Amino acid sequence: MDPDGRAPQGPGPNGTPILGLPLLKLFVSYQKAIMKMGMDNVASVLNTVSNANNAGMAKGKVKEEYTAAANQGVKDLAVGFALGEATGGLLGQIGKGLKGTSVGAAEATTTLYRGVNESHPGFKNAMNGVAEPIGGNASAAAHNSGNTASFFTSWSTNPDVATNFALRPNGSGVMMEVTVPTSSTVASPSLLNIQLKGTKTVVNESEVLLRGTVSGAKVTPVKP
């Protein structure tokens, strides 16, 4: 990994609510009203039938009318239940939509580190949280192999690697840190292993490339 560029952090997760709370309340109120209407219809009819029968008044045609009215009340109740179920099902779908859309969905991110030594041409920019690529047509593979004339900058998922480059070849440096959408990163072959400065530890560079200029990075001074 070579500290020679930077990449745009890209847009962060955006939330765009699809339905507001007032609409949900409206659905709930509608469902309750339908259920109450069905229950009231049946209660009023069945109470009348019961009272009439108890008093010995419901006979012949009158009894038939009461019975028909009671049956209609039961039908009304069934309709009320059906509408309530339908509304409840709709609310469930709305809930799934709210859960599965931008209201709660967050894009995966990756935290990357970049070490820049005080002797590096981009050190001044690095101190301000900025990394700029050299520019050119080198591919990601070529960039990893040392041809940094590209639109990429080199970063690592390992902060120890960034610290190593901040101290090389000598003196002090800075470590830059950014968290970017994983979708904005560019895969690197990451073929190189390095020995961390001042140790016998050998690690892979764990290089990840970012395209274009990166700004707003967190900057941490690194001293020997």
Of the ranges 55-59, 66-70, 104-108, 154-158, which one carries the lowest mean pLDDT score?
A: 55-59
Residue 11 belongs to a domain? no
CA distance 177 to 25: 44
Note the pLDDT tens digit of each residue in 40-68: 554 554 455 455 445 444 445 555 655 56
Closest listed residue to residue 198, CA positions, set 166, 174, 151: 166
pLDDT of amino acid 16: 41
Residue 9 belongs to a domain? no
**Inter-residue contact 161 to 176 (CB < 8 Å):** no
Note the pLDDT tens digit of each residue in 159-211: 999 999 999 999 999 999 999 999 999 999 999 999 999 999 999 999 999 99
State the pLDDT confidence band at 106, using cuts at 50, 70 and 90: confident
Last residue of a domain, one of 51, 82, 100: 100
Please tell me whether the overall predicted TM-score, pTM, comes out greater than 0.75 for this model: no
Structural domain for 47, as ranges: 21-100
Residue 160 belongs to a domain? yes
Residue type, 167: L
Are 202 and 120 within one domain? yes
Tally of domains in the chain: 2
**Inter-residue contact 208 to 110 (CB < 8 Å):** yes
